[in-house]
Amino acid sequence: MLGVDVGGTFTDVVSVRDGRVEVTKVPSDPADPAAPVVEGARRLGLEGQPVFNHASTMGLNAVITRTLPKVAFLTTEGHRDILDRGRIWRPPVRQSDPSWRRSFGDAARPLVPRYLRRGVCERLLADGSVHLPLDEEQARRQLAVLKRCAVEGVAICLLNAYVDAAHERRLRELTHEVLGDEVAVSISSETSPLAKEYARASTTVIDVFMKLIFTGYAHRLAEGLGEAGFAGELNFADCAATLLPWSEALEKPFRIVHAGPAAGTMSSARLGEALGERNLVCCDVGGTSTDVSLVVDGQPFVDNTFELEHDLIINALSTEISSVGAGGGSIVSISSSGDVLVGPASAGSDPGPACYGRGGTQPTVTDAALLMGILDPEAFAAGALRLDEELARRAFESLETPLGFEQRVGFAFRIAVANIAEEVTNVVLRRGGDPRDFTLIAYGAAGPMLLPAALDLLHVGRVVIPPHPGNFSALGLLSTDLVYYDSRSAYVPLFPESAPQIAAVFEEMERGLRARAGQDGEVRRSFDGRLFGQSWETPFVQVPDGPITAETIPELVERFHQAYERRYGNRFPYVPVQGVSYRVELRVPSEKVEFAPLEAGGEATPTRTIELRRLGSGPLEAAEYDRDSLPPGARIAGPAVIREGLATTLIVPGQTAEVGRLGELLIERENAGV
Amino acid sequence: MTHTFQRPTERYLSVERRPVDGACPECGAEELAEYRVLSDGGWFDVRKCQACLCSVSREPAPPFGSYVPLGLQIAKDAGG
A187 is a domain residue = yes
Task: Nearest by CB to B26, from A105, A106, A149: name it.
Answer: A149
What are the chain A neighbours of B39 within 8 Å (beta carbons)? Answer: 106-107
- The residue from A588, A606, A640 where one domain ends is A588
Task: Nearest by CB to A149, from B27, B39, B40: name it.
Answer: B27
Closest by alpha carbon to A510, among A561, A466, A546? A546
A152 interface with B at CB cutoff 8 Å: no
Task: Nearest by CB to B28, from A101, A114, A148: name it.
Answer: A148
pLDDT confidence of residue A190: 94
| Chain B residue with minimum CA distance to A113 | B54
A369 is a domain residue = no
**Residues A145, B52: C-beta atoms closer than 8 Å:** yes
Q: Show the domain range for A104.
A: 63-215
* DSSP code for A81: T
CA distance A398 to A270: 45
3-state helix, strand, coil in chain B (%, to 5): 10, 30, 60
Closest by alpha carbon to A346, among A419, A297, A280? A419
DSSP notation for A156-192: EE-TTTTT--HHHHHHHHHHHHHH-TTSEEEEHHHH-
**Residues B40, A107: C-beta atoms closer than 8 Å:** yes
Element (H, E) at A408: helix A405-430
Element (H, E) at A45: none
What are the chain B neighbours of A113 within 8 Å (beta carbons)? Answer: 54
CA distance A660 to A539: 37
Q: What are phi and psi of A418, to 5 degrees?
A: -65, -40
**Burial state string for A214-238 with b = 16 or more CB within 10 A and e = fewer than 16:** beebbebbbebbeeeebebbbbbbb
A259 is a domain residue = no
What are the chain B neighbours of A145 within 8 Å (beta carbons)? Answer: 27, 51-52
CB A202 within 8 A of CB A83: yes
**Residues A148, B53: C-beta atoms closer than 8 Å:** no
User: Which residues of chain A are under the pLDDT cut of 50?
Assistant: 104-107, 673-674
**Residues A115, B55: C-beta atoms closer than 8 Å:** yes
Q: How many CB pairs under 8 A join A and B?
A: 31
| Chain B residue with minimum CA distance to A112 | B54
**Beta strands in A18-56, from DSSP E residues, in sequence order:** 20-27, 51-56
Q: What are phi and psi of A502, to 5 degrees?
A: -65, -40
Describe the strand order of the beta sheet including A243-245 as a list of residue ranges. Answer: A20-27, A10-17, A2-6, A51-56, A233-237, A243-245, A482-493, A577-588, A522-531, A538-542
- The residue from A215, A246, A274 where one domain ends is A215
Q: What is the average pLDDT across B46-75?
A: 88
The structural domain count of chain A equals: 2
Question: Domain ranges in chain B?
Answer: 18-77
CA distance B31 to B13: 22
**Residues B26, A107: C-beta atoms closer than 8 Å:** no
A609 is a domain residue = no
CA distance A631 to A664: 10
Interface of B with A (CB under 8 A): 26-29, 39-41, 49, 51-55
Residue A48, by phi and psi: left (phi above 0), alpha (psi -120 to 50) or beta?
Answer: left
- Its ipTM equals 0.74
pLDDT confidence of residue A647: 86
- For A620-669, the three-class secondary structure string (H helix, E strand, C coil) is EEEEEEEHHHCCCCCEEECCEEEEECCEEEEECCCEEEEECCCCCEEEEE
Closest CA of chain B from A104, distance in Å: 13
**Residues B40, A113: C-beta atoms closer than 8 Å:** no
CB A530 within 8 A of CB A561: no
CA distance B33 to A125: 38
- The residue from A215, A234, A251 where one domain ends is A215
pLDDT confidence of residue B76: 80
Closest CA of chain A from B4, distance in Å: 30
What are the chain B neighbours of A98 within 8 Å (beta carbons)? Answer: none
CA distance A191 to A79: 19
Closest by alpha carbon to A332, among A258, A278, A395, A265? A395
Element (H, E) at A608: strand A608-612
A89 interface with B at CB cutoff 8 Å: no
What are the chain B neighbours of A144 within 8 Å (beta carbons)? Answer: none
pLDDT confidence of residue A103: 55
State the angle between helix axes of A389-397 and A405-430 in degrees (0 to 180), rounded to the nearest 10.
Answer: 90
